[in-house]
Amino acid sequence: MLLSGRFFAYLLRANRPRLDGFRHWLFHPGMLFQSRQQWWGLEQSRPTPHEGLDLCRFEDIAGNRSSLDHSTIIPAPFAGTVVKISKDFLGQSIFLAHDIEPMAGRRLYTALGHTTPRKSLVAGQAVVEAEIIASVSVPVNRKTAVPPHLHLTLALIPDTVAPEQLTWKYLSTGTEIRLLNPLDVFPTNFIVIQAPWV
């Protein structure tokens, strides 16, 4: 399946002027898809491979480095339906189902973690591509070592999966799920910075 989207273009446009002059994302290896390493605190091993991509810091064309925060607004990557909104350890997660094309009994889902959903956003609601649905959350536990960031997962999930089954644990361990690397679907400029994360 050849799938391509413009999520990063929508993200940059939605967050003007703050992200004007964007040059590239900065990724610690632990932020990348399928990484076995955490990128915060003591950088311990993850219990399961990272099921998505973490967006936290970026650099502009002048070489200035900045971080995403609660002022960063988040667009829908594709048109779809809000299937579930649930709490996570830094905020709330939004699960979107997309009708991109027939996929032999599976459907494309986007899971956006660590957000503050738009107040009017509810399960069952249709959204259009690039519509603003949330912002990056302020961590619920302010003592956490994990800085504010956006987690992005793309997955092909069987049509038979009920909304209540959609959890991060299920996305990490469900054998019938096919996870996709967000960087393959949403091209963007980035560099990988080795530890320590700065």
CATH code for position 15: 2.70.70.10
Which residue range is the domain that position 115 belongs to? 7-192
Residue 169 belongs to some domain of the structure: yes
Flag whether 184 is in a domain: yes
Tell me what percent of the residues of the chain surpass a pLDDT of 90.
Answer: 80
Tokens 């959890």 label which residue?
Answer: 167
Note the pTM of the prediction, 2 decimals. Answer: 0.94
In a domain, 161, yes or no: yes
Query: Could you tell me if residue 34 is inside a domain?
Result: yes
Of 20-24, 34-38, 75-79, 191-195, which gets the smallest average pLDDT? Answer: 191-195
Looking at the domain assignment, is residue 198 inside a domain? Answer: no
Residues 6+ apart with CB under 8 A from 118: 132, 133, 134
User: 13 lies in a domain?
Assistant: yes
Domain-located, residue 151: yes
Q: How confident is the model at residue 174 (pLDDT cuts 50, 70, 90)?
A: confident
Q: Domain count for the chain, please give it.
A: 1
How far apart CA 49 and CA 173 sit, in angstroms, is 9
- d(Cα 46, Cα 69) in Å, to the nearest integer? 24
Residue 110: closest CA among 126, 98, 125, 123: 98
Q: Is 197 part of any domain?
A: no
- Which pLDDT does position 143 carry in this prediction? 66
